[in-house]
Structure 1
Amino acid sequence: MLLIRPPGVYAPQEDTWLLRQALQDASLAPGSRVLDLCTGTGVLAMAALRMGASEAVALDASPRAVLAARCNARLHRLPMTVRRGDLADAVAEAEEGRRFDVVLANPPYVPSPNPEPPRRGRAMCWDGGPDGRAVLDRLCAAAPSLLEPGGALLLVHSELCGIETTLALLREEGLKSAVVARSLIPFGPVLRERAAWLEARGLIPPGRRTEELVVIRADRP
Structure 2
Amino acid sequence: MPSRIAQIRLVSGHPEVYEPCDDSFALVDALLADRKNLLEHQPVFCMEVGCGSGYVITSLAIMLKKEDNAASVSYFATDINPHAVRVTSETLKAHTVHAEVLCDNIASSGLETRLWGKVDVMVVNPPYVPTPEDEVGREGIASAWAGGENGRTVIDKILPVADKLLSKKGWLYMVTLAANNPSQICLFMKEKGYASRIIVRRSTEEESLHVIKFWRDPDLQVGEISTIGSL
Which residue of the partner structure matches residue 147 of structure 1? 166
SS state of the match for residue 59, structure 1? strand
Q: Distance in 2 between matches of 1:137 and 1:39?
A: 18
Shift of the 23–32 alpha-carbon distance from structure 1 to 2, 3 Å rule, reads farther
Structure 2: state its 5+ residue gaps.
1-6, 66-72, 218-231
Deviation string 1:74-101 (CA, Å, 9 cap, x unpaired) is: 22221221111122256x4343454211
Corresponding residue SS for 2:153: coil
1:1-221 alignment, distance < 5 Å: 1=7, 2-27=10-35, 28-29=38-39, 30-52=42-64, 54-89=73-108, 92-98=110-116, 99-115=118-134, 117-187=136-206, 211-221=207-217
The size of the alignment, in residue pairs, is 197
TM-score (norm 2): 0.79
Query: Hey, what's the Cα distance between the residues in 2 that align with 1:65 and 1:49?
Result: 18
The answer to whether the 8 A contact 1:113-1:129 is kept is: yes
- Give, in angstroms, the shift of residue 115 of structure 1: 4.2
Gaps of 5+ in 1: 188-210
Whether contact under 8 Å (2:125, 2:174) holds in the other structure is yes
Q: Matched residues in 1 for 2:197 and 2:43: separation?
A: 25
Matched to 1:45, the amino acid is I
CA contact (8 A) 2:17 2:140 kept: no
**Secondary structure class of the residue paired with 2:151:** coil
Which amino acid in structure 2 is aligned with residue 216 of structure 1? I
The offset of 1:143, in angstroms, is 2.0
CA RMSD of aligned residues (A): 1.7
Give the conservation status (yes or no) of the 8 Å contact 2:43–2:120: no
Normalised by the length of structure 1, the TM-score is 0.83
Report Cα offsets for 1:111-164 as digits up to 9, x if no partner.
Answer: 013445132132111011122100111122222211111110000021011111
Query: 1:39 corresponds to which letter in structure 2?
Result: C
- Equivalent position of 1:205 in the other structure: none
Take 2:111 and 2:133, find their aligned partners in 1: how far apart are those partners?
30
| SS of residue matched to 2:75 | strand
